[in-house]
Each structure stands twice: as C-alpha cells, then as structure tokens.
Amino acid sequence: MTEMAPKLRAALDGIPTYRPGRPPAADGPRSYKLSSNENPYPPLPGVLEAAAAAAGAFNRYPDMACSALVEELASRFDVPVTHLATGTGSVGVAQQLLQSTAGPGDEVVYAWRSFEAYPIITQISGATSVRVPLTADEVHDLDAMADAVTDRTRLVFVCNPNNPTGTAVRRAELERFLDRVPGDVLVVLDEAYREFVRDEEVPDGIELYRDRPNVCVLRTFSKAYGLAGLRVGFAVAHEPVAAALRKTAVPFGVSQIAQDAAVASLRSEAALLERVDSLVGERERVVRELTAQGWTVPGTQANFVWLRLGERTADFAAACEAAGVTVRPFAGEGVRVTVGEAAANDLFLQTAQTFRKDL
C-alpha cells in the first residue's frame, strides 16, 4: 500500500457538513422532533395507498420524466409542462440549478443566515458565496443584495419565507429587487414553506415568474405535503432554465413511490391544507405565548419560529432536549423550533417559560 490517496477537487476542502435536525431520543419518555421543519402528521390514507401500490413495482425504474407528476403540476399551477423540472427534494433541484449556472470564478448571492444548504452546494459547484446579512429585523436586505450583484454573479437565492428566521419579503420590495437584477442573473425564489404563508402581501413566486425569464421558483413536497422522506421537489422556470435542470438531474432520481405519492397529495390537497391550517393556528398560538413570556419572536410565515439566543443557544437547546423536545440550535446565534402537534408545542412553551424565568 502506498501513502497516496486519490486526488479530490480542492473545492471540496472545508465544506461544512449538512447538519440534519437531530432525531428525538429512542428511549425514555415521549419526545418530539421539532428540529427539521417536518409535517408532524402521518401520511393521508390515499397518499399512503398510492405509495404502497407503487412499492409493489420497485423492481422497475421509475418514469424518468416524472410525466404524471409534471402534468398534474402543470394544470395545478397553469404553467406549460416544459417549464417544470423535478428533483430529489428541492435541495436536489437547487443543486441542479448551481450545476446549470455557476462554476469557479462565478458568484452566488444569498442572505445570511439562511438555508444552510446554500453555502454547501455553492462550494461544491466551485463558485464563490457572497453572503448578505439579514436586517436587524431578521429579514432579507434586498437592497443590499441587489448592490452585491456584480458581473460575476450567476445566481441569487431569495428564501421566502426564510429558513431559519421565518420572515418573508413582500411584493413591492421583491418586485423592486427583481427590477434591479440584470436579466442574465438567475433569481431563485425558494418557496419551500409557501403553503404556510398567510400574509397576503407576500407574493406567490409563480405569479412573479410568469413574465420574468430570469426567475425560477423552487417548491417541495417535504413540508406542508408531508413527504419529506420520499424526496421530491420541483422548479418552475422558463426555458432554457427548466431544460438545463432536466439535463443536470440525476437520472431516475425521483422514485416512482415519490412520484405517485406526490400526485396523490395534489389530489388530496383539501385534506392536506386543512392540516396546514391547523399548523398555522398552532404557529399563531406559539408566537402569542412566547411573546407573552417576554421573548422577541420575528414575524414568521413558515412552520417554525426563531429565537435569537446568542450565547444562550446551546443551554436553551439542552433544556429543550431534557424536557423531551429536540430543536435546531445554530451555535452562538439562535434556535429554530418547528411548530408541531399541540402536545409538542405545549412542552416547548413550558420549557421556554421556565428558561425565561431563569434568565
């Protein structure tokens, strides 16, 4: 054996590992996972049956074009099928977007803190991240982001609502931003949490994309639709962006189980969205009670809340863990807590109150 090792791309050096939300402890009293912004409800019966039926044929490759899903989405959103591209979760589609647009010497602009996959997939592409701090209110600073666009910029992520702060940008400011970004720079509106938005001033990206060829909208079945474990997301974009996404997709990446479950979810949308409504109700309750306890909670349009705890972050996360609630700490910054079922939220609120009294 020699000491030599295969040469790997230098671009991979120092890439932070994606940290998934921790699962709750396997033993001990009941504990809740509020660390990954998942839907707490089990699959709807129709969706489970569709997935189970597809599972009976997994000796076969899936439909590589995701035809049934793409057709369902096209009619659901009133967009041409050629404007749709699917992937292994919306993070998979985001990676395809980078592969399609950026490489060494190019720049990718995004807010910070925002979705932690952005720096990872940018670095893998070889491009350079340009991070623009959120405002003091934890919102995207769209003017500063537009100022950060240079002739090296290839892609800008706008995470709306933003993970992990839950804050959302509104129509007028987003349109002003889009008007400032040159047409040869792709703007990706990451709307993973769109179904939880209740502020009518927060625009639906699919409306903004229609007459803007440089806007791409990312959506997922992982959050409101409750299919996180099946890995399916999609983009809505004009040609040639959508075509580039189809070229860069992992062949057969989206399983037939995921495709059929996604179609069944779209067809069971009323029942699913009722569950989303109840989560939004819980979100309002969590925000109200935290505020009453004295916490500062940024306005959230997503299925999670953000507490900027600074140096107390690790202590707070440990207190939650001890109480049976797993949250998502960002060391030295804050904690993101998913809105779950009422019992989980109750436990979290009790823990927050006790912690607050001890502050």
Ligand X SMILES: Cc1ncc(COP(=O)(O)O)c(C=O)c1O
Q: How far is the CB of 228 from ligand X (least distance, A)?
A: 5
One residue of 51, 70, 111, 115 binding ligand X per CB under 6 A? 115
- What 54-60 contacts at long range (C-beta under 8 Å, 24+ apart), as own/partner pairs, is 54/255, 54/256, 54/257, 54/259, 54/260, 54/261, 55/257, 57/256, 58/255, 58/256, 58/257, 60/256
Nearer to ligand X (CB atom), residue 62 or residue 87: 87
Phi-psi region of 198 (alpha: psi -120 to 50; beta: other; left: phi over 0): alpha
The stretch near ligand X (CB under 6 A) out of 86-94, 252-260, 281-289, 317-325 is 86-94
Sign of CA dihedral 204, 210, 212, 216: positive
Nearer to ligand X (CB atom), residue 169 or residue 289: 169
CA nearest neighbour of 164 among 301, 306, 323, 333 = 306
Alpha carbon 309 to its chain centroid, in Å, reads 22
Q: How far is the CB of 71 from ligand X (least distance, A)?
A: 20
Residue 138 interacting with ligand X (CB under 6 A)? no
Size of the site for ligand X (CB under 6 A): 13
Nearer to ligand X (CB atom), residue 91 or residue 245: 91
The stretch near ligand X (CB under 6 A) out of 39-47, 88-96, 277-285, 318-326 is 88-96
Specify the pairing of strand 84-87 against strand 107-112.
unpaired
* Residue window 39-78: x/- pattern of binding to ligand X, with contact defined by CB under 6 A: ----------------------------------------
Residue 233 interacting with ligand X (CB under 6 A)? yes
Among positions 12-41, residues that touch ligand X (CB under 6 A) are: 37
* Residue window 95-114: x/- pattern of binding to ligand X, with contact defined by CB under 6 A: --------------------
The stretch near ligand X (CB under 6 A) out of 46-54, 89-97, 234-242, 317-325 is 89-97
Q: What phi and psi, each to the nearest 5 degrees, are found at residue 25?
A: -60, 140
Nearer to ligand X (CB atom), residue 133 or residue 294: 133
Q: What phi and psi, each to the nearest 5 degrees, are found at residue 62?
A: -75, 170
The stretch near ligand X (CB under 6 A) out of 59-67, 166-174, 220-228, 350-358 is 220-228
Question: Where does residue 207 rank: exposed (0-12), middle (13-18), buried (19+ CB within 10 A)?
Answer: exposed
CA nearest neighbour of 275 among 23, 47, 35 = 47
The runs of H, that is alpha helices, within the chain are 45-55, 67-77, 89-101, 117-125, 142-147, 171-180, 205-209, 241-248, 256-267, 269-293, 313-323, 342-357
Among positions 284-323, residues that touch ligand X (CB under 6 A) are: none
CA angle 216, 218, 223 (to 5 degrees): 165
- In the sheet that holds 233-237, the strands lie side by side as 84-87, 233-237, 215-220, 186-190, 153-159, 107-112, 128-133
One residue of 90, 95, 167, 301 binding ligand X per CB under 6 A? 90
Among positions 163-202, residues that touch ligand X (CB under 6 A) are: 163, 190, 192
One residue of 40, 43, 62, 89 binding ligand X per CB under 6 A? 89
One residue of 100, 222, 256, 338 binding ligand X per CB under 6 A? 222
Nearer to ligand X (CB atom), residue 122 or residue 222: 222
Q: How far is the CB of 210 from ligand X (least distance, A)?
A: 22
Could you list the residues that contact ligand X (CB under 6 A)? 37, 89-91, 115, 159, 163, 190, 192, 220, 222, 228, 233
